[in-house]
Structure 1
C-alpha cells in the first residue's frame, strides 16, 4: 500500500549529485511530491528532503540505490508520524480587501499569518504549516480576491534521530583513517551509518 515517505539525504556538495539522485527516481517513474535542498548543521554537508508517495518496499530499494552513490553519506526514510515538518506559503492579497473587511484580518490572525510587505495595491502575508493548513487559508483568501500564491517544499526534522553530526563526530573519535581497509570511505560509510 502506498503512503507518503520523507527521505532525508545527507551528501557532500558535489557537482552533478542532484542529477545522479534524480536519475534513480526517473528510471523508476517515481514522481517527487516535494524536493528541498539546504545546508545541514555540518559545514560542507548538505541535506535533500524528498517527499514521495510509494510502497515501503519500493522506498527501501530507493534508499539502497541512493546510498550507493559515493557522495551520499546517509539516507533516512520516514513516514509522517516519524518527523516534524512544515512548509511556508506566501499569499498576495489586495490591500483594500484587508482594510475594508475585518473578517480577512481575523482570518489571518487565526492562521498565524505575518505581514511581509504592505503596499497601496497589495499586501503579502506568510504562513507556515502543513498542506491542509496552507490550503485551507488559500481557499479562504481566494474569496477576497487573492492575487498570487506560492508554497515552498517540505522541510523536516526526524523525531527520533540524533542526526548525522554525532555519527560523524564518533567517526572522527575512532580515527578510522588509521584502519587498514581496501576501500576506506565505503567501509566507514557502511559501518558508521548502520541503523
Structure 2
C-alpha cells in the first residue's frame, strides 16, 4: 500500500486530557502528526480535531478506530486531500522601509493573495491563506526583501461530500434507545466513512 497524506476529523467533547491521549495513540505507533488543529464545531459544546498524517490507508484506518474508542470521541472520519477542502494561514514579517521602497513587492503580494494586517515603522506583517506550496512560495518571494519572521497555522479542512455531523447527531438524538447493547462498528466498510 502506498503512503499519502490523510486528514482525520474527530468530533469530541471538550475534555481535559483528550489531546494527550490522542497524541499517545500516534507516539505508540511511532507516527508523526504533520498538522493538528482543534476548534469548536458547528454544534455547541462539540469540538472538532483535524489531524494530518502521511501514512497508508490501513494504518490511518487503525488510528481512526483507536481514536474513536476514547470515551469523549463521538465520531471519527478520515479522508485524502482530494476529498477535503483545506487551507492554512501564514503570517510574514518584513522590514517596512524595504517594502515601502520596492513598489514591485506590493504587486508580488497581490499576485499571491497576501494582505497587510499590521504596518509599523519598523516592520509590516502580511497574511495569506492557501495550501502549503502557496505559502512556501511566498517565503521565497519575500526572502530577498529581508523576511524577519514566518509562521504557518495548522490545517483546517471541511469534507467535500458530507452533510455534516450536525445532521447525524440530530438523527441519533431522535432514535429510541434499544434494549440490547450494540458495539460501535466504525470503519468496517470504507463507504461508511464518507456518509457522515
Q: TM-score, normalised by structure 1?
A: 0.91
| Cα distance in 1, alignment partners of residues 183 and 117 from structure 2 | 46
Q: Once superposed, which parts of structure 1, at least 4 consecutive aligned residues long, lie more than 2 Å away? A: 179-182, 187-191
**Residue of structure 1 in register with 2:136 after alignment:** 135
| Cα distance in 2, alignment partners of residues 154 and 11 from structure 1 | 18
Shift of 1:68: 1.1
TM-align CA RMSD: 1.5
| Cα distance in 1, alignment partners of residues 173 and 44 from structure 2 | 15
**Residue of structure 2 in register with 1:14 after alignment:** 15
**Residue of structure 2 in register with 1:164 after alignment:** 165
Q: Which sits farther off after the overlay, 167-176 or 49-58?
A: 167-176
Shift of 1:66: 1.0
**Residue of structure 2 in register with 1:174 after alignment:** 175
Higher helix fraction: Structure 1 or Structure 2? 1
Aligned positions, number:
187
Q: Could you list the per-position Cα deviations for residues 17-49 of structure 1 after superposition, in whole angstroms to 9, with x for gaps in the alignment?
A: 111111110000000000001000001110110
Which ranges in structure 2 are unaligned for 5 or more consecutive residues? Answer: none
Shift of 1:189: 5.7
Q: Is the 1:73–1:189 contact (alpha carbons within 8 Å) kept by the matching residues of 2?
A: no
Shift of 1:103: 1.3
**What are the within-5 Å matches in structure 2 for residues 35-184 of structure 1?**
35-176=36-177, 179-182=178-181
Q: Is the 1:97–1:104 contact (alpha carbons within 8 Å) kept by the matching residues of 2?
A: no
Which ranges in structure 1 are unaligned for 5 or more consecutive residues? Answer: none
| Cα distance in 2, alignment partners of residues 120 and 38 from structure 1 | 34
Q: Could you list the per-position Cα deviations for residues 118-143 of structure 1 after superposition, in whole angstroms to 9, with x for gaps in the alignment?
A: 00111001000000000000111011
Q: TM-score, normalised by structure 2?
A: 0.91
